[in-house]
Amino acid sequence: MRQFRQFTQHLVEATPGKPFNIQMAEPFPSASSFENLSSGKLQLMWIASAAFVTKEYAFTLLSHPPFVSLDRYLQWRAQPMTVKAVDSLYAKYEMKALPCAVIDGNPDFVLRRVPDADYRLKGAKVGMNGPLREIYAATGITPIALPVSELARSMETGILDGVHTFSPHETIELRLYDYTKAVIYPSAVRGFTVTELMMNLAFWNGLDASDRAAIEGVCRRMVSESIKSSRKLADDAIERYRKAGTVVMTMSELDVQLIRQKWEEVAAKRAAFEPAFEQLYKSLYDK
């Protein structure tokens, strides 16, 4: 929410007098918001991941790429070949997208009890949304898709053993902090989340060069600002956890190896029948 307010403020400053119609679709977009953007009812949308709606793994690489550094990712997104490929991916939905914020410094899970040598993550019921559930299941967890509004209650009552999160700061905002005994931090698998500014393609094509440059400039500014602010928020939140006696731990090497192996298997299968994913995956991972 804070980043969205910052973005809209920067956009107003960069494009005075332009009444852009923008909506926030975080933390998870709905099919209706996606369709409204595609049809032109909505001009711009601030969105965590189109993968939650489209179910295409190609979008995963644009918002939650596993085993990739943030620096590598941002360099990759700026390459002309990548821009062209991403534009083609979104064009079939009548959309244009720009990376416009980054949440960095994330944990993987908050848990109701501290994992031990026998328990680890095996058998844990973990609230998790998005297409990466398949690779985390390799650790033996049971991924459960739940609305964000139900996560805290499900942790409190024991329906969930843990939640897969975006940042330590978010876990506090969602009241998961109250039921957390252990935090896996920092992430060994997904160290950042990218928020896209998605635009109706006809709207984008109808903008003049100065407005396009202004929007692109705002997004670049937001990426830089959001990286700094999210890292500080994460560090502050983790310090709060430590002071409360919460165990802060890293993911076991065995679990990381299992997830990496599963990710490579999933990627190979997806590349066999999803051309857009194959193109993006090979260029991002230097395959």
Domain boundaries, the chain: 2-105+190-235, 109-188+242-256
pLDDT recorded at residue 117: 64
pLDDT recorded at residue 13: 85
- Phi (first) and psi of residue 9, to 5 degrees: -65, -45
Distance CA 109, CA 207 (A): 42
Please give the model's pTM, rounded to 2 decimal places. Answer: 0.86
Q: Which two tokens stand for residue 185?
A: 């931090």
pLDDT recorded at residue 51: 67
Distance CA 252, CA 255 (A): 5
Query: Could you confirm whether domain 109-188+242-256 is CATH 3.30.420.40?
Result: no
Number of residues that make up the chain: 287
pLDDT per 10-residue tile (average), the chain, 287 residues: 78 81 65 77 74 78 88 94 93 90 85 76 84 82 87 93 86 87 82 85 92 92 91 91 91 86 91 92 93
Q: Are 87 and 63 in contact (CB under 8 A)?
A: no
Question: Could you tell me the CATH superfamily of domain 2-105+190-235?
Answer: Bacterial extracellular solute-binding protein, family 7 (3.40.190.170)
End-to-end CA gap in the chain? 37
pLDDT recorded at residue 26: 54
pLDDT recorded at residue 256: 87
Q: Are 231 and 110 in contact (CB under 8 A)?
A: no
Question: Exposed (0-12), middle (13-18) or buried (19+): which is 205, by Cβ within 10 Å?
Answer: exposed
Domain 2-105+190-235 and domain 109-188+242-256 have a common topology: yes
pLDDT recorded at residue 179: 92
pLDDT recorded at residue 181: 92
